[in-house]
Amino acid sequence: MKKYICLFLIATWFASGVYAQEENAVDLKTQRKLTKQERTVLREAEEADLARMVDSLVEERKFVLEADFLSNQSGNRVMVNNLLNFIIVDSSKIIIQTASTTGMGGPNGMGGVTTRGTITGFEVKKTGKNNAVYFIRLLANTTIGPYDIFLHISPGSNTDATISGIRAGKLNYHGFIKPLEQSRVFKGMTI
């Protein structure tokens, strides 16, 4: 009789353990689902905040395009340091810089060129789905000549810029825009 009571108690104990595991499994699924929904809501809120920031940066005309990649008109793409390769737009002023991580050569002392100038034309259009992508055309007179700069800025701050001057060829910057206050770019010697 004691054997049967012990077996019954052991069976009951195992059954309650299996039930508890099954209940915990449901709770884990619910938790994962809730956290996934919460993550989605959080991501959407961050995207909306980023889009509002991009709108205000373009409206104020104060931002920095920090390039992660540079490319030419043939599409040859090179990874670069975003703190050394940038375009700064500050109201009616502009700074354009290219540099290498070796820091050797170039008129700016960093293996590239740094030029300052004034923005003489600033055209803004919104294109794309829901008119969310900015297309900006800048006309800039710099110390080394005039430049046409075309910017495509997404609501997520992804930005592509194409620079062309009076000489043949184009240089493309690929990166993100940031507020001037948050950027930590390093400027070389200006020509």
Could you give the percent of the chain with pLDDT greater than 70?
Answer: 82
Mean pLDDT of 114-127: 95
Q: In the numeric block, which tokens belong to residue 137?
A: 């055309």
* Architecture label for domain 61-182: Beta Barrel (2.40)
Q: Domain segments of the chain: what residues?
A: 1-60, 61-182
Q: What is the C-alpha end-to-end distance of the chain, expressed in Å? A: 100
Higher pLDDT: 64 or 191? It is: 64
Q: How far apart are CA 146 and CA 162, in angstroms?
A: 14
Q: How many CB atoms lie within 10 A of CB 110?
A: 24
pLDDT tens digits, one per residue of 145-165: 999 999 999 999 999 999 998
Mean pLDDT of 89-110: 88
Report residue 188's pLDDT band, with 50, 70 and 90 as the boundaries. Answer: confident
Q: How far apart are CA 93 and CA 131, in angstroms?
A: 27
Q: pTM, whole model, 2 decimals?
A: 0.78
Higher pLDDT: 139 or 3? It is: 139
Report residue 43's pLDDT band, with 50, 70 and 90 as the boundaries. Answer: confident
**Which CA distances in Å does 74 have to 52, 64, 161, 172, 188?**
34, 25, 15, 10, 27
Average pLDDT of the chain is 85
Q: What single letter denotes the amino acid at residue 118?
A: T
**Which CA distances in Å does 138 have to 65, 69, 85?**
13, 20, 18
Mean pLDDT of 66-95: 94
**Ramachandran angles phi, psi of 32, nearest 5°:** -60, -40
Question: SS3 breakdown of the chain: % helix, strand, coil, rounded to 5?
Answer: 35, 40, 25
